[in-house]
Amino acid sequence: MQPGPPGPAGETSTVFASDFDFPKLRPVEAHPIVHGGRPSVLLRDPLRLSRRTVVVPRDLALVLVLCDGTFPRAAMSEALARHFGLRADIDIIDTLLAALNDACLLDNDRSREAELRALDQYRAAPFRSPAMAEAVYPAAPDALRGVLDGYLRAEPDVRPATAGRGLFSPHIDYARGGPVYARVWKRAAALANDVDRFVIFGTDHFGEPGRITLTRQHYATPYGVLPTDRAAVDALAAALGPDRAFGGELRHRDEHAIELVAVWLHHLRGGKPCTVVPILCGGFGRFVAGDADPRDEPAFERLLAALDAVTAGADHAVVVSGDLSHVGPAFGGAPVDDAAWGAVQAADDGVLGRLCDGDADGFFATIAEAGDAHNVCGLPPGYLALRFMGPGVRGEAVGYERCPADDARTSWVSVGGVVWG
């Protein structure tokens, strides 16, 4: 039983037991695949410290459960046999650990040094380069303009609102979410052009629970550069504490949530730049679980107070980048057929309703009371944006769609838009 190749060349490093006495896995992307005819798990680093991936046979993936930094490597083989009936001798485990190490997936000196190098390179660059260009949208401005204009032309019934305070947009890939993007951004076209500073709250898909992560880097799109309001960012960082505000800054480099709405914002402005305040919002798991109340989170209160101060008397608008439900086997759930989808859509209607009401507490409660059973990734940025805009804001739902998330069409991501007046 062997792990799959860790990278293009299938190379692994020599393993010394002392290097992995208590191995700890870093946060990783895990995707079920079939590799060589065997059910397997593809592991990838969300920070892209290494471009390598690791493919692990599904039964051997149980080793990963033990890689929490507290379980001794020397006892893993015995534990797998005793608890799971799995035979994996120490050589197989060491081969897997070597592959994880080569891909910078273990929390150790190697990965920490790689992260520091990557962060230095990110900060030294003149701007954050588009990470999703060519993967999600054309990198060439003219080609991109043609694609996005095509989505907008396909929604002739949508008329721009005369004013607005903000919008809630999808961040799914354009191929699946293009029509909903077009509806919400077309409705908010006047807002996109009338305001020159945007506070962008985006989902941090791999951020620590409750973590707010800032960056001083400008955000580039194929149309040019959207300058980050560094004075505002510095004021927010002073309120949060610099270590807390920038501790996970490298996630901005490859996180798609802010980028994919920034491209639409820049497009609606005809390529004219505007200032942005990019804020990544980590998961709400501990709040949903009832271990804490988001109203009692000191970091949120400091962030919101600082935002009020830096935007006081200045024209600004809010952009929220968030998708709705993630259901089905691709997200660890049961297959969702057309009959089961009705319940998902009903829940989404409730979520969108609370967004339209400007009801931050009701928005959170609607999702939390169901234990976030549908994995609404727009919860953290949506909640914080509603708190920032205040209880008087009201909106309208603009667009809704379910997007397939597997070939069998049993997994789905739902997306919707809201424009706040």
Residue ranges covered by each domain of the chain: 17-117, 126-420
Distance of CA 121 to the CA centre of its chain: 22
Q: What is the 3-state secondary structure (H, E, C) of the chain?
A: CCCCCCCCCCCCCCCCHHHHCCCEECCCEEEEEEECCEEEEEEECCCCCCCCEEEEECCCCHHHHHCECCCCHHHHHHHHHHHHCCCCCHHHHHHHHHHHHHCCCECCHHHHHHHHHHHHHHHHCCCECCCCECCCECCCHHHHHHHHHHHHHCCCCCCCCCCCCEEEECCCCHHHHHHHHHHHHHHCHHHHHHCCEEEEEEECCCCCCCCEEECCCCEEECCEEECECHHHHHHHHHHHCHHHHHCCCCHHHHCCHHHHHHHHHHHHCCCCCCEEEEEEECCCHHHHCCCCCHHHCHHHHHHHHHHHHHHCCCCCEEEEECCCCEECHHHCCCCCCHHHHHHHHHHHHHHHHHHHHCCHHHHHHHHHCCCCCCCCCCHHHHHHHHHHHCCCCCEEEEEEEEEECCCCCCCEEEEEEEEEC
126-420 has which CATH code?
A: 3.40.830.10
**For residue 308, which phi and psi values (nearest 5 degrees)?**
-55, -40
* pLDDT of amino acid 19: 60
Work out whether strand 395-404 and strand 412-420 pair parallel, antiparallel, or are unpaired. antiparallel
* pLDDT of amino acid 4: 40
Work out whether strand 317-321 and strand 166-169 pair parallel, antiparallel, or are unpaired. parallel
* pLDDT of amino acid 190: 95
17-117 has which CATH code?
A: 3.90.930
Mean pLDDT of the chain: 93
* pLDDT of amino acid 5: 38
The predicted-structure confidence for 303-318, as pLDDT tens digits, reads as follows: 999 999 999 988 999 9
* pLDDT of amino acid 142: 98
Per-residue pLDDT in tens (0 to 9) along the chain, 421 residues: 334 433 333 334 444 445 678 999 999 999 888 898 999 999 999 999 998 999 999 889 999 999 999 999 999 998 888 888 888 888 999 999 999 999 999 999 999 999 999 999 999 999 999 999 999 999 999 999 999 999 999 999 999 998 789 999 999 999 999 999 999 999 999 999 999 999 999 999 999 999 999 999 999 999 999 999 999 999 999 999 999 999 999 999 999 999 999 999 999 999 999 999 999 999 999 999 999 999 999 999 999 999 999 999 889 999 999 999 999 999 989 999 999 999 999 999 999 999 999 999 999 999 999 999 999 999 999 999 999 999 889 999 999 999 999 999 999 999 999 999 9
Two tokens, residue 362: 């009701």
